Chains A and B, each alone.
Chain A
Amino acid sequence: MNQQQLNTRISEIRDKLTAIEQKPDNRIWLSCESENAYAVNKFLFEEVPLRFVIATVIDSDDYFEVLYHYAYDEIGCMVTLKALIRDRENPAIESIAPFLPGAEWIEREMHDLMGIEFRNHPDMRRLILSDDWPVGVYPLRKDAKKPAERPDGEPSRRPTVQSQSPARRTVQLSKPVLPVGPFHPLQEEMELFQLAVDGEIVTDIDMRISYNHRGMEKIAETLQFDQVPFLVSRICGICSASHPLAYVQAVEEFAGITPPDRALYVRTIINELERIHSHILWVGLAGHFIGYDTVFMWAWKYREPVLDLLEEITGNRNNYGNVRIGGCREDIPDELKPKIIAEMDKIEKKMVMLTKAVLDDPVLHVRLKGIGILKKEDAINYCVTGPTARASGVDIDVRRDEPYAAYGVLNWNVITQPEGDVFAKAVVRLLETLEAIKIVKEALVKLPKGPVAIEVKQIPAGEGCGHAEAPRGETFHYVRSDGGNRPVRHKMRAPSYVNVPSFKASCLGGNIADVTITLASVDPCYSCTERLAVVKDRGGKVLHDYETLLKLSREKTEKIRKEIL
């Protein structure tokens, strides 16, 4: 289906829409009233069919806007449906989760943060807010009071209060439950999977995330456009190249900025280096999860040189802070090119060896094949992305579908596997690593001369969607500007947000031993967690507050600087 046919398809529901706006940059914006949103969504998801990406709710002065973002991957077109909710007092809209399981979490989130009621939602528990958060306080609304200014004088967090309301997030499953989390050797971060078990067989699963939500979307509204990349690169240490890139592409889109060619190549190289080290990290962890610690240690040793290269290019092993609106901050010096290529050759040899070892190991076959199968239709319904989708035969990859940076002119392949089991996911990641090495080498050879950034003076009013293929899948950013120097709304969606709910489809009926590796197989990343740890001693005295940490950090920098000079 080409653009023309897609337009024709969408115009079939013209009577339910109030506006269709086609922008030249491969974006379609639809508008409708909230009463028609359910029907239009159902049409877009089931009839066209489009891939659901995420939804954003925006607090505009006298009404709420719910934006449903869809993607048509065949031609890389993004379709956004705006539904207006005009009743500010009791905002409500029909839930789309009954036919679109992938929208279940985001509707819960919108309810938590903006207070939108979703009618007929199957499971309206809290997702983001903690159990003791007061009812009726919606932190993302523009008129939300700061915690200290609440009218009743209560602190917004009351740790001693245990809410018994249906909003409580942890449910009691009826069968014997094996808790995986909130702290468990399987997970590096906090999350709780409650596995209802019948002997060794897992019969039900309940997930709880967001033990420490950092409120990044709110913070982004307080930062200037040029500061936001540093914030979003801290969503996750590993995806710290993809998130800023997706954000920057969203801004560049509506501001009409075209970065210079060299910047596009530098972006590509850094993003692929990120993919290499992220995939190797997963291989190691997966080995550890099934008790294969030798693979764990070897893989992580192979990963080190990649981090060293990234440090040499950008100054940091993680949180590169390299991409900015209009280009990149740091260039790849030409004298570094031979070193990177030599290092890539070495890593390629090791990865070929590791890939062969994994693909030929009979014990690994027995352990991983036919385990945790995510069927293709489930992959589509849960809207999963990245290697999780590609291993289930869903052939999507933002790098190819809507080429950004320099991916369009380089020669590489998208890896897909039809099986959908854990082994397929491992194969996809291992082969993708080899492809990424190929991309880095080719991009280095073709690296054009010229400046690495252009001057950007002004960000106009407008809105844009940017997405990039992070190692775990598509990361999506939506930015709206009113012409000021800060975004009025910035929606971020990390890939794990859609990948994790798919456990409901892939884990049930499995063995405990299989479910744990299945949980790990989407490479879950609970990135939207912590902002700043304030440690208190037993007397309640704060040991490190923001100022002392800042001071400590500055002193350390000063010390290192003196040592270097």
Chain B
Amino acid sequence: MGALALATLFLSVHEWYWGQIQHWPKGHDLESLDVWADQRARVAELSEEDVIILGSSRAHFNINIHRWDSLTGRRPLQLAYPGSSPLHPIEDIIEKTDFRGTLVIGVAPGLFYTVAGTWPANRGKALVDRYYNRTYAQRFNQWVYDFIDPHFHYLNQEISYESLIDYLPIPNRDSINDPDLWPPMVRMDAYRNIRMIPIMENDTAHQRKQKKIWFNPNPKNRAADTIDAIMNHYQQLFQQFKDRGGKVAFVNGPVTGYYLKHQPVLWPREDYWDRLLNECGCPGYHYLDHPETSIMEPPEWSHLNRRDADRFTEILVEHLREDKLISDAL
């Protein structure tokens, strides 16, 4: 009992420290494979009126599924996942389910245009593998986690010991880059809806930490040599999906700073975005094509704050309605 009391005392201090001093929000883990798998498991319940969102972090941040729900009466399934290519999740939905609704696919070029075996694709594959390979013990564990995870910092994977070791101030050798120290950024709920936290929206020092992580002095287009194969593969997949009655829409979200400088150079719009839409025969919504979204400024160059994410969602829903890709619930 004495040991448990001591542990509880330490734990209370720990909770206070990470909440008040470090500003970490309580919520479900942003990168939890199990929370993703729980949502993936719901695909079987969806009708042809429903929407699934796939993509990477921009589709995850910029689309508020609860706002979408309030506008249409239907809440989309959020399956976009940070730092990943949607390649394998798209294959999974199209080839292994009979879903015939609408796929809204976020196109962050550095992650979307990728082939199997690369790290962005492997992160997406890990999600799909988790969904199919979960043991009953892992499902039970996640069921318990769903109840307690949003209430405690000590369950937050982003402040695991493995991550915290990176914070020790021991200088590295010249050839070793200092590890990325990710600042807290979002709060995610059980539906995987995420909202940027106030400190990231308002604190420029905090934003600078994140910008430092995004900045890469030598950005590359890993898909340059394989783009024909990538386009061909996506074209075949989406054709298969449309043949069974499904609908597809692509979304390209606002960026500024570093991304605005490099994206148009590395992935010229006509060679990538326009080609994707043409070859797949699907509509797409590029932020530069709408006056309101074209001037949105993500606080850390890549993801929208809460107000802009809500507005971005509203504009996207309007476009999808106009193009008859979604319908409102009666």
- Answer yes or no: do A and B interact: no
Q: Taking beta carbons and an 8 Å cutoff, which residues of B are in contact with A?
A: none
